[in-house]
Amino acid sequence: MNPGPAAAADRADGRVDLPVSGMTCAACARLIERTLARTPGVTRAAVNLASRTATVEYDSRRARAADFVSAIEGLGYGVPETDLPPGGGEPDYRLRFLVAACLAAPLMVLSMRMASPWLQLALALPVVAYSGAPFYQAAWSALRHGSANMNTLIALGTGSAFLYSLGVTVAGGMHVYYEAAAVIVALILLGRMLEARARAKASGAIRGLMDLQPPTARRVVDGVESDVPVERVEAGDTLALRPGERIPVDGVVVDGESAVDESPLTGESLPVDKLPGAAVFAGTFNRSGSLRYRATQVGRGTVLQRMVELVRQAQGSRAPVARLADVVSGYFTVGVLIAALITFAVWLFLAPPSTAMVNAVAVLIVACPCALGLATPTAIMVGTGRGAARGILIKSGEALEMAHHVGCIVLDKTGTVTQGKPRVTGIAPAAGFTEAELLRLAASAERPSEHPIGRAVVEAAAARGMALEEPAGFTAEAGHGVRARVGGREVVVGRPGVTVTVDGTCAGSIEVADAIKPEAAEAVCRLGALGLEVWLLTGDRREVAEAIARQAGIGHVVAEALPEAKVDEIRRLQAGGRRVAMVGDGINDAPALAQADLGIAMGSGAGVAMEAGAITLMGGRLTGVPETIELARRTMRTIRQNLFWAFAYNTIAIPVAAMGLLSPMLASAAMALSSVTVVMNSLRRERK
């Protein structure tokens, strides 16, 4: 087993995500979780029933991943190969279901005609011994470890009906219930199959991301191209890319021009132009030209694989709202066993033993808490998967739930509300100069400059197709601008505003500003419609901040705030009872992101600060913020619906079965339907 990324080195601990097969209900997950948590060296263990994964954080000086595998297998569960997707390695119930269905159907007909009990036994025995074997094996394994789970209820229910009928048959009686045992096994297997398919669809986000990476790459050695498995590509290799192909690994373009569709990573639909020096990313789609690029990140180091890992971790996490379900399911199985015993005892006084047995079996079967265990994780799987498809990386169920609760959104200015890149917004020439002449002289003087304002002036001239001169005697003074000779004329471009003088005469001014993002006003409007209070928090000058706020429609502004002051401002908002989400670039705003109840980091594909916030917006689109809130609210609404259905189902079904109003066969169908309903309700949100 390969452990996941190590945590901080000074803590010397690690993390591993293990696929687990054989889990059937929340009780199974809790048993594995408790066992792992008691393993020496483990600091935290979490088991997700929906994704069939166990996440273990541990001190690598005291434990190894192999220890956790042994602990899980010792409980009777399996740990398939780690390269399988979540949910992989689960038993294939199809053959067992076909056997059960083919034998249970004639058995029901024979039971209605009161056919020979021995003939019914011959049909029921393969169903119980073969089709139902996984239930009995799992129940026995749980019993050996002093636990009870869904399999315990199924094994007791079907086993009781079968053994009672066997005793009646041997004694020469006619009133047997072989068909009940066989049909229950068949229906539960059918429910398992439907549930597995639905869960596989819920975890499709990870498979979709993994499928984005092509299996081969076209490596160039001494001018010769050859296809090699992507696993053999190393950093520094030169790769060729043709139109219509997906990019296999991250890299930097060295030759060629093209437009690349980066929507799988960023959610941004418009293609991005790629020229020499531009970064390209695994899983994105090359639309037009041919490229050659140098591989920089391969394997798990690519942005795509880091996304896969983050989505996998998020789908294996637990939201705080799930704690109630965890507590209830921990005691549920034992409670059901007690309820079944009471049902049996009461009915012994009211009816023949066969009736008491049938009603007790119905209680055992109908009360399986599988739907309860699936209610939260399936919704989180769909929510985080849906977010990943939109370039929204939600790193945990806790972050998803907090996004639902926030009432105040604090936006950084540069790179969040604005594009983070100065550009020329106006040119005002003095008498005797034209706009074109003023811009050409200023841009020529700024050519050697690395200052963002100077680069903005040069780019504005290049966009107009101007031919610039090479300046002579270039000098730059921090905070004051540049001085150079252009065509024999002394040109000075001053800071902080771009004022230009030529041979000591004022030639005019060039306005340079960090332009607001095109979607900023729409995003702020949507946040307001969601009932959220929006603040702009920046270290920039007040007049600049207020101008940006007016353009974006932001009503609250805090300007000239140093990083420490930003943290204090968020604390002030929190002290007023608000739950605050801070949106920033993930680097300069790290203290504020950490102080906020929810940190949302803005990314831009290359070098995305995925670790900076609890949520990362891969494309850097500000509209991703309201999309995140909307997604969180839909997901939490789904979780509440699922929990209501699961609790309501058991609350109603158990007394109905105890009163003798629900046959074991109907109980098994209702139990399977409850689990499938919860999963399908979660999947319904995937289409929205």
Q: Is the pLDDT of residue 370 over 80?
A: no
**Model pLDDT, residue 85:** 44
**Model pLDDT, residue 579:** 92
CA 69 to chain centre: 25
- Segment among 3-12, 273-282, 391-400 with least mean pLDDT: 3-12
**Model pLDDT, residue 534:** 95
3-state per-residue secondary structure call for 435-473: HHHHHHHHHHHHCCCCCHHHHHHHHHHHHCCCCCCCCEE
Determine the Cα–Cα distance for residues 527 and 629; give it in Å rounded to an integer: 8
442-477 in b/e burial notation, b at 16+ Cβ within 10 A? bbbbbbebebebbbbbbbbbeeeebebbebeebebe
Q: Is the pLDDT of residue 608 over 80?
A: no
Question: Predicted confidence band at 564 (pLDDT cuts at 50, 70, 90)?
Answer: confident
Determine the Cα–Cα distance for residues 128 and 125; give it in Å rounded to an integer: 5
Determine the Cα–Cα distance for residues 226 and 232; give it in Å rounded to an integer: 12
Residues in the chain: 688
Neighbours of 95 (CB within 10 A): 11
Q: Is the dihedral of CA 161, 162, 165, 170 positive or negative?
A: negative
- Segment among 438-442, 492-496, 508-512 with least mean pLDDT: 492-496
**Model pLDDT, residue 588:** 60
Question: Predicted confidence band at 269 (pLDDT cuts at 50, 70, 90)?
Answer: low
- Segment among 31-45, 66-80, 325-339 with least mean pLDDT: 325-339
**Model pLDDT, residue 413:** 86
Question: Predicted confidence band at 9 (pLDDT cuts at 50, 70, 90)?
Answer: very low
Per the model's pLDDT, the better-predicted residue between 322 and 262 turns out to be 262
Amino acid at the residue 302: T
Residue 62 neighbours by CB under 8 Å, 6+ apart: 40, 41
- pLDDT tens digits, residue range 612-652? 578 888 878 899 999 999 999 999 999 888 888 888 887 88
- Three-state DSSP state, 98: helix
Determine the Cα–Cα distance for residues 311 and 303; give it in Å rounded to an integer: 12
Point out the residues that are catalytic. Answer: 412
**Model pLDDT, residue 525:** 95
Per the model's pLDDT, the better-predicted residue between 565 and 503 turns out to be 503
Identify the burial level of 298 via C-beta atoms within 10 angstroms of its C-beta, where 0-12 means exposed, 13-18 middle and 19 or more buried. buried
Domains and CATH numbers, the chain: 9-74 (3.30.70.100), 214-301 (2.70.150.10), 303-391+626-688 (no CATH), 392-418+518-625 (3.40.50.1000), 419-516 (3.40.1110.10)
Per the model's pLDDT, the better-predicted residue between 319 and 297 turns out to be 297
- Segment among 162-166, 192-196, 391-395, 622-626 with least mean pLDDT: 192-196
**Model pLDDT, residue 144:** 78
**Model pLDDT, residue 407:** 92
- Three-state DSSP state, 149: coil
- The model carries a pTM of 0.70
**Model pLDDT, residue 171:** 86
Percent of the chain with pLDDT over 90: 24
- pLDDT tens digits, residue range 83-121? 444 444 455 678 899 999 999 889 888 888 888 999 999
**Model pLDDT, residue 83:** 46
Percent of the chain with pLDDT over 70: 87
* Contact indicator for 560, 541 with CB cutoff of 8 Å: yes
Residue 252: phi, psi to the nearest 5?
A: -125, 130
Per the model's pLDDT, the better-predicted residue between 490 and 9 turns out to be 490
**Model pLDDT, residue 352:** 87
The mean pLDDT value for 160-189 works out to 85
- Residue 616 corresponds to which tokens in the numbers above? 């990362």
Neighbours of 307 (CB within 10 A): 27
Q: In what order do the strands lie in the sheet with 216-221?
A: 224-229, 216-221, 238-241, 291-297, 250-256, 279-280
- pLDDT tens digits, residue range 315-365? 666 667 666 666 666 677 778 888 889 999 999 999 888 899 889 888 887
- Residue 455 corresponds to which tokens in the numbers above? 């680069």
List the one residue out of 628, 629, 633, 591 whose CA is nearest residue 612: 591
The mean pLDDT value for 267-274 works out to 73
Residue 282 neighbours by CB under 8 Å, 6+ apart: 212, 213, 247, 248, 249, 250, 297, 302, 303, 304, 305
* Contact indicator for 248, 230 with CB cutoff of 8 Å: yes
- Segment among 369-378, 522-531, 535-544 with least mean pLDDT: 369-378
Determine the Cα–Cα distance for residues 663 and 355; give it in Å rounded to an integer: 10
Determine the Cα–Cα distance for residues 48 and 577; give it in Å rounded to an integer: 33
Per the model's pLDDT, the better-predicted residue between 145 and 384 turns out to be 384
**What is the average pLDDT score of the chain?**
82
